[in-house]
């Protein structure tokens, strides 16, 4: 095996591992490999180059790159004189990690907190209602306690996200040992 092939194989191994673990980011192995190709490529790539490299349609590259861009893992760049769109990976993986989980966690947190708050209000109304029986009130009370616990958890999650967004997390868990 010559040197070029050995390098290629070394890349292939890492790309394969990468793409297998990208499901953590909710990304299919195909898109994972796309990311891997972009990761090892010197400089940005066009949709056509990706298409050639992976043997997949340009349409798939377009949607794949869109997914990765939405996840802030890839960004569009621009080079003078080049008409085609160019894309490159966000090289800072700490940033990629934070961006991804912050977006997801914050979204989940917001949605669930909103639902919880509305439901808490309603349950409190049930308890305040003169017509509610004692049994019903007890059920409502139990749900309220459950939801308050959940609320506390989501507030914690929000603070965790804050720590990632501000970079404060790196004071606690430093980048280098």
Partner DNA sequence: TTATATATACAGAAAAAACTGTACGAAGTG
Partner DNA sequence: CACTTCGTACAGTTTTTTCTGTATATATAA
Least CB distance to DNA at residue 25 (A) = 12
Region of 27-35, 92-100, 109-117, 150-158 interacting with DNA (CB under 7 A): 27-35
Region of 1-9, 50-58, 114-122, 143-151 interacting with DNA (CB under 7 A): 50-58
Up-side HSE of residue 132: CA atoms within 13 Å toward CB? 16
Task: By CB under 7 A, tell whether 57 contacts DNA.
Answer: yes
On whether the CB atoms of residues 45 and 38 are closer than 8 A, the answer is yes
Distance, in Å, from the CA atom of 3 to the CA atom of 5, rounded to the nearest integer, reads: 5
Task: By CB under 7 A, tell whether 63 contacts DNA.
Answer: yes
Region of 44-52, 62-70, 76-84, 107-115 interacting with a copy of itself (CB under 8 A): 107-115
In the shown chain, the binding pattern of residues 8 to 47 toward a copy of itself, with x for contact by CB under 8 A and - for none, equals -xxx-xx-xxx-xx-xx-x------------xx-x-----
Task: By CB under 7 A, tell whether 59 contacts DNA.
Answer: yes
* 153 interface partner picked from a copy of itself, DNA, none, CB below 5 to 8 A per type: a copy of itself
Least CB distance to DNA at residue 115 (A) = 21
Identify the residue among 76, 108, 145, 166 touching a copy of itself (CB under 8 A).
108
Task: By CB under 7 A, tell whether 60 contacts DNA.
Answer: yes
Q: How many residues make up the chain in this entry?
A: 177
Region of 43-51, 60-68, 75-83, 111-119 interacting with a copy of itself (CB under 8 A): 111-119
């Amino acid at each position: 095996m010559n040197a070029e092939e050995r390098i290629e194989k070394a890349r292939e191994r890492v790309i394969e591992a990468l793409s297998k673990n990208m499901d953590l980011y909710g990304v299919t192995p195909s898109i994972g490999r796309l990311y891997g190709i972009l990761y090892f490529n010197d400089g940005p790539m066009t949709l056509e180059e990706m298409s050639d490299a992976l043997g997949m349609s340009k349409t798939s590259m377009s949607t794949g790159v869109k997914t990765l861009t939405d996840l802030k893992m890839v960004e569009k760049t621009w080079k003078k004189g080049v008409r085609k769109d160019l894309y490159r990976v966000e090289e800072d993986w700490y940033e990629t990690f934070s961006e991804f989980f912050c977006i997801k966690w914050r979204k989940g947190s917001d949605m669930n907190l909103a639902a919880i708050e509305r439901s808490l209000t309603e349950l409190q109304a049930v308890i305040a209602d003169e017509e509610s029986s004692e049994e019903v009130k007890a059920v409502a009370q139990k749900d309220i306690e459950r939801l308050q616990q959940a609320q506390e958890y989501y507030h914690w999650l929000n603070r965790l996200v804050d720590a990632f967004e501000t970079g404060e997390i790196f004071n606690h868990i430093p980048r280098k040992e």
